Amino acid sequence: MIKKVIWSSLAENDLYSILAYWIYRNKSAIYSIKLEAEIQKSIQAIIKNPFIGRRTNKENIRLKLVGDYWIVYEITAISINIISIFDTRQNHSKLRNRIKKG
């Protein structure tokens, strides 16, 4: 059973940047709060079933779609490592680079 979730500094920065962008764009935090709740809900689903996400070329790295964002995570024996929160509207070569580094 997975015991903990570990966020990389990249994933923390990704989430902060995404939420800050939507607060700035909408002049309100309402959407950011909802989006963060959806991301956290998806992470709880990942904890319960780590293999729920889409497979990648790397054996233990998976992708879970939340709206327009991929949660990029790695499954280990004792943890789920959140590698990145990736906007699907970005250049997908950036996503491939993050998966390689994961």
Q: Write down the pLDDT at residue 102.
A: 59
The amino acid sitting at 82 is I
Q: Is 51 exposed, middle or buried (0-12, 13-18, 19+ CB in 10 A)?
A: exposed
**pLDDT score of 70:** 96
pLDDT by position in tens, the chain (length 102): 667 999 999 999 999 999 999 999 999 999 999 999 999 999 999 999 999 999 999 999 999 999 999 999 999 999 999 999 999 988 767 777 777 665
Instruction: Say how many domains are in the chain.
Output: 1
What local confidence, expressed as pLDDT, does residue 99 receive?
74
Do 90 and 74 form a contact (C-beta atoms < 8 A)? no
This prediction's pTM:
0.88
Its domain, for residue 75, covers 4-101
Q: Read off the CATH number of the domain in which 54 is found.
A: 3.30.2310.20
pLDDT for residue 8 = 96
Edge-to-edge order in the sheet of strand 69-75: 4-7, 79-87, 69-75, 61-66, 54-55
Q: What is the pLDDT of residue 2?
A: 61
